[in-house]
Amino acid sequence: MLDLSGRVALVTGGTRGIGAAIAGRLAEEGAHVVVCGRTEPASHPFEFVPCDVRDPEQVDSLVSVTVERHGRLDVLVNNAGGSPEVPAASASPGFNRAIIELNLLAPLLVATAANAVMQRQHDGGVVVNIASVSGLRPSPGTAAYGAAKAGLINLTQSLAVEWAPKVRVNAVSAGLVATEDSLEHYGGEDGLARVAATVPLGRFGEPADVANAVAFLASPLASYVSGANLVLHGGGEWPAFLRAAHGDGTATEPRA
């Protein structure tokens, strides 16, 4: 039912982490997968096209090369993004501009180029934007990133209206996901365990969880899903006021 045989998928930032998991999952369902990044890694299993997704000329070349080689483009996954942690009061204007450009303007740029191809195809295409729960709640330490992801969610809804009926546009807002950088970011195994305990499902998400959601949205099973934001956060977070009210920590435990 998730069959993507004969489809061509492009995954930005698809050589590592969540992007690589998405690329692998789409390939499992039969899609021919093209990935892009600024630098090609030494080893990866997918067709690679170098591209800085913030550069309009490089983006046009990326989409043109993909179509020239494979004749079509059916699925675009805007995965490239991210931000280091910098307090808003310390972040320079240039830093903020770069974060917003990467996480909001670049997805719009790539999606627009892909849409031009998909609109000419009889069966259109699908765009999936990888957003974040940082766009749905406060994002202290990564304020520009959170604002950009909030914009990406809104952009998803707007493009779904503008580009229908040929092109479906959806977003996946990922919560805490265990990647190569998680151990360092959260202070080792003990830190990971403490953070995981704040999630109702009791664990971090895995890159495969995001990849499965993308595969669903790209597939015929989601043929009537457009303008949606699929939130993957394990149930969210226990409200801070409950922790404060139960000072013994019991508010972090599941209740019948």
pLDDT digits 0-9 by tens, 45-91: 999 999 999 999 999 999 999 999 999 999 999 999 999 999 999 99
The residue type found at 216 is F
| Residue 161: predicted pLDDT | 98
Pick the closest to residue 66 from 45, 36, 26 (CA basis).
36
What is the three-class DSSP state of 57?
helix
- Output 89 or 246, whichever has higher pLDDT: 89
Distance, CA of 81 to CA of 110 (rounded, Å): 13
Q: Using the 8-state DSSP alphabet, how is residue 222 labeled? A: G
Active site residues: 145
Task: Flag whether pLDDT at 250 surpasses 80.
Answer: no
- Output 238 or 24, whichever has higher pLDDT: 24
Residue 252: band (very low, low, confident or very high) from pLDDT cuts 50, 70, 90: very low
Please, what is the Cα angle at 216 between 39 and 99, to 5 degrees?
40
Q: What is the arithmetic mean of pLDDT over 129-142?
A: 97
211 vs 11, 20, 152, CA distance in Å?
A: 11, 9, 19
List all residues 6 or more positions away from 4 whose beta carbon is below 8 Å from its beta carbon.
26, 29, 30, 31, 74, 75, 215, 218, 219
Distance, CA of 9 to CA of 252 (rounded, Å): 41
135: which 2 tokens? Answer: 């766009």
